[in-house]
């Protein structure tokens, strides 16, 4: 028996989300159908508003409502350090610890030849331009995840930036190999930043 077309379309929509399989998508679709109309309208409006109102900061690539983002506009932050992260959600994770007061740069991914992602597919060119136009930046802290792709990206950035005389460091102990910054607690992140090492 096939599902009615509206349910099938809803299941297909949920299947497009990361980490959602057939069973979960079906469960979510039927849950959505059972929701009150007002809740469905609010959910749809939240999706629509997020897509329309949010964009990437022209300086750091973080997700924002205003351009430049709040962090890039804050002149009280340490202008000599930039933490380079994979995704905008990583900025939020690092900000929660309230110990780092420098700047950020979001790559929007990592190098992954298997997925066809090279340097031109990442937000690297704008990082280089940023460094060329701001001579006060003394250190780049590479905070990519401890995965093979994250490590390859870190090494690529180190080789690219070191000739310019900029200190390039990597998050150290505290983050387990294979783990994501998004799931680390504040103390683990603090120790990782505190124990960073030059690449």
CB count within 10 Å of CB 63 equals 17
The CA distances from residue 183 to 91, 96, 126, 170, 188, in Å, are 12, 12, 27, 18, 10
d(CA 3, CA 18): 23
84 forms beta bridges with 105, 142
Tokens matching residue 16? 């497009």
197 forms beta bridges with 170
d(CA 28, CA 90): 27
Q: Model pTM?
A: 0.80
E strand or H helix that includes residue 170: strand 167-170
Domain boundaries, the chain: 5-53, 60-198
Return the pLDDT at 174.
Answer: 64
What CATH number is given for 5-53 in this structure?
Answer: 1.10.8.420
Tokens matching residue 143? 């905070």
Return the pLDDT at 59.
Answer: 95
- CA neighbor of 113 nearest in space, from 62, 156, 56: 156
CB count within 10 Å of CB 55 equals 13
d(CA 135, CA 167): 13
d(CA 132, CA 150): 24
Return the pLDDT at 71.
Answer: 97
CB count within 10 Å of CB 165 equals 7
What CATH number is given for 60-198 in this structure?
Answer: 3.40.1360.10
Return the pLDDT at 186.
Answer: 80
First-to-last C-alpha distance (Å) of the chain: 58
CB count within 10 Å of CB 71 equals 18
Q: What is the pLDDT along the chain (199 residues), one digit of tens a residue?
A: 789 999 999 999 999 999 999 999 999 999 999 999 999 999 999 999 999 999 999 999 999 999 999 999 999 999 999 999 999 999 999 999 888 999 999 999 999 988 999 999 999 999 999 998 888 999 999 999 888 899 899 999 999 998 888 999 988 666 666 778 887 878 678 777 877 777 7
Tokens matching residue 114? 């298997």
């Amino acid at each position: 028996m096939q599902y009615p077309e509206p349910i099938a379309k809803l299941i297909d929509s949920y299947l497009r989300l990361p980490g959602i399989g057939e069973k979960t998508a079906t469960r979510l679709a039927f849950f959505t159908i059972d929701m009150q109309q007002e809740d469905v309208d609010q959910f749809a409006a939240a999706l629509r508003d997020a897509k329309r109102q949010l964009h990437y900061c022209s300086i750091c690539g973080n997700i924002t409502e205003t351009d430049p983002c709040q962090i890039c506009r804050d002149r009280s932050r340490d202008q000599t350090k930039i933490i380079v992260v994979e995704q905008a959600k990583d900025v939020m994770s690092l900000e929660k610890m309230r110990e780092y007061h420098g700047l950020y740069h979001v790559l929007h991914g990592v190098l992954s030849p298997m997925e066809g992602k090279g340097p031109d597919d990442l937000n690297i060119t704008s990082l280089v331009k940023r460094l060329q136009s701001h001579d006060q930046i003394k250190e780049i802290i590479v905070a990519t995840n401890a995965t093979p792709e994250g490590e390859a990206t870190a090494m690529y950035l180190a080789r690219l930036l070191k000739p310019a005389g900029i200190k390039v460091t990597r998050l150290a102990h505290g983050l387990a190999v294979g783990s994501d910054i998004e799931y680390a607690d504040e103390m683990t992140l603090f120790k990782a930043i505190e124990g960073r090492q030059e690449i």
